[in-house]
Amino acid sequence: MKINIIGAGVAGLSAGCYLQMNGFETEIFEKHSHPGGLCTSWKRGEYTFDGGIHWILGSNPSNPFYLLWSELIDMPSIEFLNHDVRMDLEVKDNPDRYGNKVFHLYTNLDRLSSYLMDLAPEDSAVIKKLIRSMRKIQGYEIPPMIRSVPGLLPFWQKIKFVKHLPLLFFMMRWKKETNLTIARKLKNPFLREVFQLLFDGDEVPLLVITLPLAFNDKLGVGYPVGGSLNFARKIEERYFGLGGKIRYNSAVDEIVTENGRATGVVLSDGTKFPSAITISAADWHYTLFTALKGKYTNKTILALKERRNLEVYYSIFLLSLGVSRSFSDFPHMMNFPAARELVSPDGTRYSRIEVHCYNYDPTLAPKGKCVVAVKFYSKNGDYWIGLRSSDPEEYKRQKTAFAEEIIGNLEEKFSGIRDAIEETDIATPATYHRYTNNWQGSTQGWLPGKNIIAPSPVDNVIPGLQDFYLAGQWTLPGGGLPVAIKTARTVAQMICHKYHKPFVVSK
């Protein structure tokens, strides 16, 4: 039985692996020339610039996602690095009790607790509650994201999930807490400003940071040395080893449907590839409104299209620099006030700068040199996509001019960096859209709402269309690699269930 899969990102590759393990013939169609999708890296001269992974949930056996990754990858063969400090955040107005303006977000909970208590003893009650919540998370057996699929799980497994109810109740108690609600409870001005700035002033569910910190403390959220594309190629290698096929440089223009069934795909050159089942592990909006021509919708899908249920995840302007300095004396991740406010051509204003120094990965730059990346989040990705389409020369001029403004700002913080730049790369939302079709150039999928544990309005199936499935980070708000592998596995299980095949995982 032939199954066509659209997209050779982590979700598409993972789905292909699981289906090959279970006796299905699969073929993946990818518009780009290499795997990974958003999990990608690229070369510029002697440097490798990374556009994806900062850390992977499940980098060691302390986290259940390790078991999922191990089904596809030889995890011990990957060197994972765990940072002692997740980020250094510099406030603008309120120094701490010692006159310092930089906050260190330690990943070890004992160290973080002592640090916070020393900085703000007057907020000991709030601090203890925060640390206690993360310790409590560690006490639960946290399963990879369970998704209810009618008829998929036998009764005994459903009963088994009852033991996870205490975790659900705990998360329900914390679902309304955000970085800003915590900030309002703090008396210490330095710590209050820190919490206000954790997400550049946006209000974000606190679980978005406490969950990773709880896993960080157990060394389960590591960075894979070698970067994103290297990690994606590990899954590609496994897929090829299982007999899978990938057609690169093969953009899918249309998903063929006949009598309410998906029956194949048509490439941009007009070539048709029939199949019994089609899986899209590609962009949600492209899949439903371009490849399927908007023929299969309902109220929920239309509300998502109009962004009434969920907001699309941010797009980014990513400036990557190859510099002839090691930057070994700088933190790997810094967030600090800009010397001068930056105004993007898309209209977004930035008063802060986030800088990522890859001084910990020797594979990305020659010895004594370093990759430095600056990332700006935007909700106006369509501006860049439209400009590149309508006026490529003006697009190039505007992105280059904005990059020059950023470098000028960096010079204030890192004196001499301009003269040390050997390679420059500029990725805009149009870049991400060009290579991945991601709606508005989004770098993940949907933004999680304030209720982070609310059921996802996106499903793995489409109303009125049989033999078709969705996998990937657009099916669960927040997105990311854990969603990619979990939803790919779920879709493979659903297909096995449909054809009365026991789902197996082969080593």
| Residue 374 backbone dihedrals phi, psi, to 5 degrees | -120, 125
Q: Are β-strands 272-274 and 261-267 bridged in parallel, bridged antiparallel, or unpaired?
A: antiparallel
Pick the CATH number of 2-42+55-78+227-310+449-498 from 3.40.50.2300, 3.10.110.10, 3.50.50.60, 2.60.120.560: 3.50.50.60
User: In this predicted structure, what is the pLDDT of residue 62?
Assistant: 86
CB atoms within 10 A of CB 347: 10
Only one residue has tokens 């510029």, namely 44
Looking at residue 147, what is its pLDDT?
44
Share of the chain above pLDDT 70, in %: 93
What's the pLDDT score for residue 163?
60
SS3 of 15-27? HHHHHHHCCCEEE
DSSP string, 451-480: STTSPPS--SSBTTBBSEEE-SGGGSTT-S
| Confidence at residue 144, expressed as pLDDT on a 0 to 100 scale | 63
Q: Which helix or strand (DSSP H or E) is residue 484 part of?
A: helix 481-498
Contact 490, 469 (CB under 8 A): no
Compute the average pLDDT of residues 417-424: 98
Closest by CA position to 1, among listed 274, 228, 205? 274
Question: Which residue bears the tokens 């946290």?
Answer: 142
What share of the chain in percent tops pLDDT 90?
A: 82
Comparison of pLDDT for 102 and 447, the residue scoring more: 102
- Rounded to two decimals, what is the model's pTM? 0.93
Query: What is the Cα–Cα distance from 485 to 15, expressed in whole angstroms?
Result: 8
Spatial strand order of the sheet with 468-470 comes to 245-247, 25-29, 2-6, 277-280, 468-470
The pair of structure tokens assigned to 95 is 């120094």
Q: Mean pLDDT score of the chain, rounded to an integer?
A: 92
Q: For 448-496, how does the pLDDT look when each residue is reduced to its tens digit (9 = 90+)?
A: 776 666 678 888 999 999 999 999 999 988 888 999 999 999 999 999 9
Closest CA to 38 of 267, 314, 291: 314
pLDDT per position as a tens digit, 138-159: 887 666 654 445 445 554 454 4
State residue 156's pLDDT score.
45
Mean pLDDT, rounded, for 116-127: 97
Alpha carbons 207 and 212: distance in angstroms, whole number: 8
Q: Provide mean pLDDT across the span 385-405.
A: 98
pLDDT digits (tens, 9 = 90+) for 208-251: 888 889 999 999 999 999 999 999 999 999 999 999 999 999 99
Per-residue pLDDT of 241-264, as tens digits, reads: 999 999 999 999 999 999 999 999
Residue 325 Cα to chain centre, angstroms:
29
Residue 283 has pLDDT above 80, yes or no: yes
Lowest-confidence region among 47-56, 227-236, 265-274: 47-56
Parse the chain into domains and list their residue ranges.
2-42+55-78+227-310+449-498, 83-218, 315-441
Judge whether residue 6 has pLDDT over 90: yes
